[in-house]
Amino acid sequence: MSAMRPLILASASPARRRLLESAGLTPIILVSDFDESSIIENDPEQLVRVLAQKKAEAVISKLPGAIQGKQISIPGEILVLACDSVLALGGQIHGKPRDANDAIGRWKMMRNETGDLWTGHALYLLELSSTSARILKSSVQAPRTKVHFANPSDSEIQAYVRTGEPLNCAGAFALEGRGGLLVRGLDGCHSNVIGLSLPVLREMMIEMGSEVFV
């Protein structure tokens, strides 16, 4: 196996960055700016798989120029990771709420129910030259975690939405934040709900021939 390669995280999500850092990984942040609304897909698993791939590919298209000054060896190999999460509940797919009223309506539907939180993971191994980025390997996974929601009152829902936290989260809740108070339990990977499954990432990195512990 090779030593740890540099890792680009194709996401502006602070939660995903913190998850990687908590696992001893220091990502280079490059935001994809991919238009998620351009993808129409009714199956949540397929949706997050496609969105993760598109986000990763959008960042790859900016290389190597976008990493100028990042102290990355060229020529050399690098990993690019992109993720996307949605909540599926009641036959509907939910990303981030449009506004506070949308978040309140979502929570009134979610309370005392169980939803499926899907997170697509797309990991690419690239060989960089001074002028191009060649894809050597790629892997796409989309694990699911069942989320059992509590039964908050209307006033609790309104107070939570006023914090602003749910407006930036798929499913209108942040498990690692105050939204954790409104979740009764999980079936599946905890970090997957936050936006990135660390066990799945480990398996994908091993598939790429990259050490996780160095």
pLDDT in tens, 82-129: 999 999 998 999 999 999 999 999 999 999 999 999 999 999 999 999
**Do 71 and 25 touch, CB atoms closer than 8 A?**
no
Domain residue extents for the chain: 7-207
Q: For residue 116, what are its two tokens?
A: 């499926």
The reported pTM is 0.94
> 2-6, 52-56, 80-84, 89-93: which has the minimum mean pLDDT?
2-6
CA atoms within 13 A on the CB side of 139: 16
Name the CATH topology of 7-207: Maf protein (3.90.950)
Query: Residue 1 — pLDDT band, cuts 50, 70, 90?
Result: very low
3-state secondary structure of 190: helix
Residues belonging to the active site = 84
Structural tokens at position 146: 């069942």
CA distance 204 to 210: 9
